[in-house]
Structure 1
């Protein structure tokens, strides 16, 4: 019996291996046979189909077929032209001189410097507006607020209703007044360190949205009186909205957020005429809890182009010293932030990356039954995801921000710079493609300077042609004069 007990596991293992071998050979013969068949008669059809129709397109097609509603996808989209990845950095060597890795670097930023209570940030990062209840849970908002305070930066409230816990944990709190109208109370405005009027965002443009009661937590249902409705056109004009806020709060910076568009310069002219302190441009690639794919994938201009064009216009129009420029949409970390600041931004807003950081070490416990980001979103009748551990989430967001601060400092030192002001003034960037070089007026890394010997020869040739041109001109003038003299 003992011998049988010892041998039987090996017999079972051997039989299992034989079964796997037999099944593998059968499967191999079937696959080999199917390769010779017409694709439309086998599963290989999907291989050819997905070469033409991407996986994202197929998934959205299934959404439309199932619901009859516009397809959505969360957390933003990839711009058709990724300009940021077409730009690199120019390292310092002797000219400019490389700085020590211990050299001090100034990452501080001030928004709305002309106001009596400007907003001071320890580094050029803002936590993007992600509204309570409309998108995020109260736990996620609190974790973000705690991390922002520890990092010395500000958090924006987002489109959702006022969350007292967020304000309580935020040392620097920006009230974003949405087009929904539920956070426009005078008492809430008095609590803000800065106010931003949301006229639209890249992932939704200015179309507005409606959130059903079943998608909202009880506190939000009570605050918005049922369904959450954000109008496509606000209840009053931007001029009236600005005047209303200014009458109550003239001490703190006032900003306006708009999606970046091809008529960007006209929008900037209108906002500067209203004496706006901070302009936020949301570029293509901005994330959202559930954006219509037809807008988030195909509307607006890239964040890099928005920063470059806005900075250039503000400089030319003479507003750059009194208007702070914030850009958002597809910012993944320190590298993107540094590139956008070099192109002209004062600060950048980060959203999706911070949610991923917040969920670190918490998703694995519930995946794959729970989509990763659902733990960050507000729980409702349709979202039963487990709640977020606030302390753990706050710690990981803070770590992400600390790493970003260190990476920004490293980028500046490696370029021989000591401040963000120098980064924007010198714009030490290199274009990776000829098109990016032309669009952003940057040197192309495939060209390089003209060798001195060649430059000297070209100069001599140009001088020779100039001398020949003078001789030919003199001959032509003398011939014309002689011809007139000989004319009867």
Structure 2
């Protein structure tokens, strides 16, 4: 046989083999389909179709948590926060500027700056109202993630935050503006560390963990953190109660660093108005409300999934209360938990926040382009969450910082675009009157017009403006009373406190 004849025979054999394979696959598929059709009609208790009913009644996440409890006999924990029962920010939409007011042209500059702690001697000034959420080294994320966050924050004109972990020198070295989170643990309270901060935030609790105490065993900690500990074989603890009273803590911070704002971070609770009153009485400059959607590296599911108020609800309530008390200009309000991007950030600003802290989206942004090195052996978060051993060689800091900086740049452009579409020249001009509710429940909850209502504002939509007007008159009356008493024209007011009576 010639070479061509051999080739033709080989091709014929391959063709027959391929045809046989196709026939076999067709027969196999028909048999499998027939088997599944029979299974669909069988008793689900004895059929794989039972899984469909189980997953309808129990979410995959709950199946995993149940397996954790069964296997370990301990409190089940999970990372990355909790999905809210209602995503309230998705129930809100913007009312676009059309004829009056008109939108701004794309070339028009929009002011994105913000000052946190306006009554402090040296307020924290940021180029945009977006902050990286505090993530502690060792107890939350890796040192590489901390450095990437600090570098991106500096390039983007915002501030890096220490989180509740120990002091990381290289983070402070890279951060142009740095927020020290004074935690309930036994570290980072030294006077020299406090003096390095551009703002100090006292951590009373957080949305994913309420205000419970936390213990992390040595096997969960990075080697560097274990070696730095005085007791490397014992768990590190973040206590439930602060090491001192709030007033004493604030005084100690002012002694070490008198010019910077002092803030407090706490979980959003149903009694938040009482919390606000006590914080203002203590002289706090910045209040961070951490909503139920907030994430952490690893939190008890029974706390993370079932405690606290949604961030949007908490911010709206806090803003209304501060305005009603005539105290809105005394304190800055930071929203934390569940903000995914510029749309969520802008809505929280409109509801009353001065700035918004973002966490999970930044972790996703910094790991962009590197996830393939750990998946499928581990989840994407393994690149950034602290552990004794990081798979895939760990996070590449340069790439992570670059992608974070691009995320901040894109978010700033999107915030500017929202302001232009609303016809306002500054992000500080965002307010509830520019929002419409996509559901009647959201309209009642936030006091804004329902998109499905006839033209004209319902009574609830006037609540924000009337409250602000009443607070302004009250403030003016306090000023006039003070002038009158100074001139001897009015007797001293009876009752009331530092902020007036009533």
- Shared fold by TM > 0.5? yes
Please tell me whether the aligned partners of residues 374 and 385 of structure 1 are also in contact (alpha carbons under 8 angstroms): no
Shift of 1:366: 2.9
Please tell me whether the aligned partners of residues 343 and 427 of structure 1 are also in contact (alpha carbons under 8 angstroms): no
2:136 and 2:15 mapped to 1: Cα distance? Answer: 60
Matches within 5 A, 1:255-266: 255-266=263-274
Aligned to 1:411: 418
After superposition, the Cα gap between the structure-2 partners of 1:10 and 1:366, relative to the gap in structure 1 and judged at 3 Å, is: farther
Aligned partner of 1:178 among 167, 170, 183: 183
Shift of 1:2: 2.6
Please tell me whether the aligned partners of residues 374 and 382 of structure 2 are also in contact (alpha carbons under 8 angstroms): no
Q: Which protein shows a greater Rg?
A: 1
Please tell me whether the aligned partners of residues 379 and 385 of structure 1 are also in contact (alpha carbons under 8 angstroms): no
Please tell me whether the aligned partners of residues 374 and 383 of structure 2 are also in contact (alpha carbons under 8 angstroms): no
SS of 1:196 mapped into structure 2? strand
Shift of 1:367: 1.3
1:450 and 1:128 mapped to 2: Cα distance? Answer: 39
SS of 1:165 mapped into structure 2? helix
Shift of 1:15: 2.3
The alignment status of 1:344 with 2:349, answered yes or no, reads no
Aligned to 1:362: 370
Aligned to 2:491: none
Shift of 1:370: 2.2
| Length-normalised TM-score, structure 2 | 0.87
The CA deviation string for residues 420-475 of structure 1, in whole angstroms up to 9 with x for no partner, is 22113x64000111111111110000003269xxxxxxxxxxxxxxxxxxxxxxxx
Aligned to 1:436: 442
The CA deviation string for residues 50-76 of structure 1, in whole angstroms up to 9 with x for no partner, is 111121111111111111112222111
Aligned to 2:287: 279
Please tell me whether the aligned partners of residues 260 and 281 of structure 1 are also in contact (alpha carbons under 8 angstroms): yes
Aligned partner of 1:82 among 79, 87, 101: 87
Shift of 1:44: 0.4
Shift of 1:19: 2.0
Matches within 5 A, 1:238-317: 238-317=246-325
The alignment status of 1:28 with 2:33, answered yes or no, reads yes
SS of 2:371 mapped into structure 1? coil
Aligned residues: 449
Aligned to 2:481: none
Please tell me whether the aligned partners of residues 161 and 223 of structure 1 are also in contact (alpha carbons under 8 angstroms): no
After superposition, the Cα gap between the structure-2 partners of 1:365 and 1:217, relative to the gap in structure 1 and judged at 3 Å, is: closer
The CA deviation string for residues 155-208 of structure 1, in whole angstroms up to 9 with x for no partner, is 111011111110011001000011012111111111111000000000000002
**In terms of mean alpha carbon deviation, does 359-368 or 285-294 score higher?**
359-368
Aligned to 2:108: 103
Matches within 5 A, 1:207-246: 207-225=212-230, 226=232, 227-246=235-254
2:386 and 2:441 mapped to 1: Cα distance? Answer: 43
1:72 and 1:7 mapped to 2: Cα distance? Answer: 60
* RMSD over aligned Cα atoms: 1.4
Misfit runs of 4+, over 4 Å: none
**In terms of mean alpha carbon deviation, does 155-164 or 224-233 score higher?**
224-233
1:389 and 1:241 mapped to 2: Cα distance? Answer: 38
2:115 and 2:377 mapped to 1: Cα distance? Answer: 44
SS of 1:136 mapped into structure 2? coil
The alignment status of 1:155 with 2:163, answered yes or no, reads no
Aligned to 1:11: 16
The alignment status of 1:328 with 2:314, answered yes or no, reads no
Unpaired stretches in structure 1, ≥5 consecutive residues? 452-488
